[in-house]
Amino acid sequence: MGKRAENDSNLKRYKNRLTSLDGLQSTPELPMAKLIDHLIAEGNALLKTEAVPVKKTSKTKLSAALSTSSSNPYTKARAMVLEKLPEWRRKELARMEKTGDINNRFYQDFISEVSALGDQLSQKQ
């Protein structure tokens, strides 16, 4: 079988599968292209009616989880410092803590900033 005949055969099998599915059978008044447009419109209408939850970013999750619920000023300070950092830096700090690679100036700067802010917050209490 030639390449073109094989492609035609595959196309025919694909069309037969589409028309054999329940509820998707093409009718003379609703050809396949219009049927697909109709199904897309129905799907979009369903998506509009469903409530889509707002996805929280890692900043808001972190702030909500640590800053508001903790009474520890250093935990709050850590969350506040992390919140100011870009995403890539937070990931890098998490990697450093996970692997134990904390003997570098970046991590020491982070700890110094958290300690200073924690001291300030503890004095306010």
- Give the residue carrying structure tokens 């999750």: 61
- Give the residue carrying structure tokens 């890539």: 88
| One-letter identity of residue 8 | D
Asked if 74 and 118 count as a contact pair (C-beta separation under 8 A), the reply is yes
Query: In angstroms, rounded to a whole number, what is the distance separating the alpha carbons of residues 90 and 70?
Result: 20
Residues 66 and 90 in one domain: yes
Taking only the tens of pLDDT, the chain with its 125 residues reads 566 777 777 777 777 766 666 555 555 555 677 777 777 888 777 777 765 565 555 555 655 555 556 778 888 888 889 889 999 999 999 899 889 888 999 999 999 999 999 899 888 87
Helix (H, G, I), strand (E, B) or coil at 3: helix
Residues 37 and 74 in one domain: no
- Give the residue carrying structure tokens 């870009």: 86
| Residue 112 pLDDT | 93
| Residue 22 pLDDT | 53
Residues 37 and 78 in one domain: no
Of 71, 70, 80, 87, residue with least CA distance to 110: 80
Residues 117 and 62 in one domain: yes
Q: What is the phi/psi pair of residue 12, to 5°?
A: -65, -45
**Full residue range of the structural domain in which residue 42 is found:** 3-49
Tokens of 6: 């094989």
Residues 44 and 89 in one domain: no
For the chain, what is the domain count? 2
Residues 69 and 117 in one domain: yes
Residues 44 and 68 in one domain: no
Residues 41 and 93 in one domain: no
Helix (H, G, I), strand (E, B) or coil at 67: helix
Residues 65 and 114 in one domain: yes
Residues 75 and 35 in one domain: no
Residues 69 and 96 in one domain: yes
Residues 45 and 63 in one domain: no
